[in-house]
Amino acid sequence: MALTESTMVPLGTACPDFTLPGVDGRLWSLHDFHTPALLVVVMCNHCPYVQAIDDRLNELAKIHAGQCAVVGINSNDAVAYPDDSFEAMRARAAEKGYVFPYLWDEEQTVARALGAVCTPDFFLYDSHRRLRYRGRMDDNWKDAAHVTRHDLRRAIVRVLNGEELPTTQLPSMGCSIKWKAGV
């Protein structure tokens, strides 16, 4: 497992349009989200970094329901990593009780358009779907009990309040996205 840091896409970048299948059986697109903020999380099933934060992510989605939509997107190569297959995504979402759509980016086009490189990789957009925050969730991916800085939570609140965010943001880190060979 090689630790990879997010690439820190330029703030102000527009959220790429997407239409992807969800584990709930429907197609989801960017235009389905009408909240003042949108958090796109590139994630997967098998990454220990995602497994360590997915309960916190689900809780964050519950806290900000109706204000900040959360959407999880799995872009990993499911042939090379069967634990990240669409069927496994369904099972994981049911097991964890995700309250947000969990989408499959089988062709990996959305991850590339986002500039995502790791799991988890967080992208917080404002009501105009411009990137306001890309960085870590908090200061302790491994243990929620030892978190002292809730970077992502604070960013969501600031976006919802129409406040400026610091331009210096610390990158997320996790497993590299498992790109398909030859793509």
Residue 37 lies inside a defined structural domain of this protein: yes
Instruction: Please state the domain count of the chain.
Output: 1
Residue 44 lies inside a defined structural domain of this protein: yes
Residues 26-53: tens digit of each pLDDT: 999 999 999 999 999 999 999 999 999 9
Residue 6 lies inside a defined structural domain of this protein: no
The number of CA neighbours under 13 Å toward the Cβ of 58 is: 15
Query: Which CATH number do you get for residue 120?
Result: 3.40.30.10
Residue 21 lies inside a defined structural domain of this protein: no
Confidence tier at 183 by pLDDT (50, 70, 90) = low
Q: What is the H or E stretch that residue 114 is in?
A: helix 109-114
Could you tell me the pTM of the whole model? 0.96
Give me the domain span that covers residue 140.
Answer: 32-163
3-state helix, strand, coil in the chain (%, to 5): 30, 25, 50
Give the residue from 127, 128, 73 showing the smallest Cα distance to 100. Answer: 73
Residue 18 lies inside a defined structural domain of this protein: no
- C-beta of residue 73 within 8 angstroms of C-beta of residue 43: yes
Residue 43 lies inside a defined structural domain of this protein: yes
Residue 140 lies inside a defined structural domain of this protein: yes
Q: Give pLDDT, residue 182.
A: 66
Alpha-carbon distance 125 to 104, whole Å? 20
Q: In what order do the strands lie in the sheet with 131-133?
A: 102-104, 68-74, 37-42, 121-125, 131-133
Q: What is the average pLDDT value for the chain, to the nearest integer? A: 94
